[in-house]
Structure 1
Amino acid sequence: MKLLIVDDHIVVRSGLTMLLNGKNDIEVVGEAAEGDEAIRKAQELKPDVILMDLSMPQGKGGLAATTEIKQVLPDTAVLVLTMHDDDEYLFNAIHAGASGYILKSSPHEDLLAAIQSVYTGNAYLNPTATKRLMSEYMEKLNDGGNSKTFESLSQREREVLEWIAKGYSNKEIAENLIISVKTVETHKSNIMEKLHFKTRPELVKYALQKGLLNFD
């Protein structure tokens, strides 16, 4: 298994290389310190798995790099390794094309299991994220689905929801749908009220569950 490690801290890259190289038939074939270098190295080395940091302030970030890499190397699995235990980062990573998401605070055994999982074509989420998603799913089952019905949204509201979930600002949504910013804000308020949501991450998760986000 050829592995490329992407992180802006050389100590982290060196530590991961020492930890992973030779384990479970893993060969660390390269390292990159930021997104543009990661894209170049990925095209040059054709790794099976890329271990991708998200926050790399000195260059292109991990989300943008993941999106570009998946466009040119769709068979390469990207496993996000980050300190961000946050649902919005998680769903943005999935939207960018990542196959897995694991925290830097995870045990070494979990990291090895995550790498193996995405290498074999499966998805991987860190246990805390999985637990939160399952908890929310059970809450919806217990609620009977009555309070958060997709059918209650108008066609325009569904369109606005999709654009919001993809990370577009109110102004950008208005320009794409050829409506005013005020109208977008009204639709967003109506969506929040109908679905009983209060935050953008909740909208992103709901849109993902409803299949509104295209990951191709």
Structure 2
Amino acid sequence: MSTPDRDRDRPLRVVIADDQALVRTGFAMILAADGIEVVAEAGDGAEAMHAVRRTRPDVVLMDIRMPTMDGLEATRRILAEHPDPPRILILTTFDLDRYVYAALSAGASGFLLKDVTADRLVAAVRMVRAGDALLAPSVTRRLVERFAGQHDGATLHRDLSTLTPRELDILRLIARGLSNQELAGHLHISETTVKTHVTRVFSKLGIRDRAQAIIVAYETGLITPGGQRT
């Protein structure tokens, strides 16, 4: 994934994948006006894959519903193919879409509604480039509770036995939506220590960010819909 050191070396580079030319043009104009370089546009998932191979962007804005190859399959392939993959932001018309859930399971870093404001679009691209997940925990929980076990994509059934009791506590609290600062206060430890624990949890489970952590917590039964834990 992109690192802060690499990010400082060059301008932020983005690929926009959407089957509607007007959407691509509008987003490209907004990003360019803020100094973000749109290195390629794609009309379907296959074109998006080729664009990523050719341009090595930091972020891909990926529409879900496209012809030839949809954004979900393109997301899976891009993240599996590249040892240092771009961050992928899913574009959708609806905020609770089973395809969005599947894309988050596959490793996407969040999603945006297509009617996003210009300021929000720019902030979102910069946020995920910095390594953050763009998804409110409450929205992630709604997605998980509605779609867990109902989609056809790969799930995140991870073995939690590798986690220590403290790391399990960290994962539970992440799934409840606590920030690192809130985790530190709740557990009475330093924020630096929290960051170390979070990094270890992500590494042991092979996940990229908090969005996936929440999905893991639900799909393993660590957290249950309507409850805090099993």
For this structure pair, what is the TM-score category when the shorter chain's length is used for normalisation? Answer: 0.5 to 0.7
Which of the numbers 7, 15, 23 marks the counterpart of 1:4? 15
Provide Cα deviations, 1:107-133, integer angstroms capped at 9, x if missing partner: 2211111111110011002x6xx4445
Q: Greater relative contact order: 1 or 2 (C-alpha under 8 angstroms, separation 6 or more)?
A: 2
Provide Cα deviations, 1:84-103, integer angstroms capped at 9, x if missing partner: 22152332111121111111
Residues 1:72 and 2:57 are matched in the alignment: no
* TM-score normalised by the chain length of structure 1: 0.60
* TM-score normalised by the chain length of structure 2: 0.57
Evaluate the alpha carbon distance shift between residue 207 and residue 95 of structure 1 in structure 2; reply closer, same or farther with a 3 A threshold: closer
1:167 Cα deviation after fit: 2.2
More helix by share: 1
Specify the code of the residue in structure 1 equivalent to 2:38: V
Look up the match of 1:97.
107
* 8 Å Cα contact 2:90-2:110 kept in structure 1: yes
Between the aligned partners of 2:143 and 2:50, the Cα distance in structure 1 is 39
Computed over aligned residues only, the root mean square deviation of the Cα atoms, in angstroms, reads 3.0
Note the residue ranges of structure 1 that are not aligned, 5 or more in a row.
138-161, 169-204
Structure 1 residue matching 2:57: 3-state secondary structure: coil
Residues 1:167 and 2:152 are matched in the alignment: yes
Look up the match of 1:34.
44
Runs (4+) off by over 3 Å:
130-137, 205-208, 210-213
Between the aligned partners of 2:218 and 2:118, the Cα distance in structure 1 is 34
Residues 1:84 and 2:91 are matched in the alignment: no
Residues 1:111 and 2:121 are matched in the alignment: yes
- What is the percentage of aligned positions where both structures have the same residue? 34
Between the aligned partners of 2:140 and 2:134, the Cα distance in structure 1 is 13
Residues 1:48 and 2:58 are matched in the alignment: yes
Look up the match of 1:14.
25
Specify the code of the residue in structure 2 equivalent to 1:209: A
* 8 Å Cα contact 1:165-1:207 kept in structure 2: no
The count of aligned residue pairs is 148
1:17 Cα deviation after fit: 1.1
Structure 2 residue matching 1:21: 3-state secondary structure: helix
Note the residue ranges of structure 2 that are not aligned, 5 or more in a row.
1-11, 154-212, 222-230
Look up the match of 2:186.
none
Specify the code of the residue in structure 2 equivalent to 1:46: R
Provide Cα deviations, 1:159-213, integer angstroms capped at 9, x if missing partner: xxx8x35627xxxxxxxxxxxxxxxxxxxxxxxxxxxxxxxxxxxx986324549
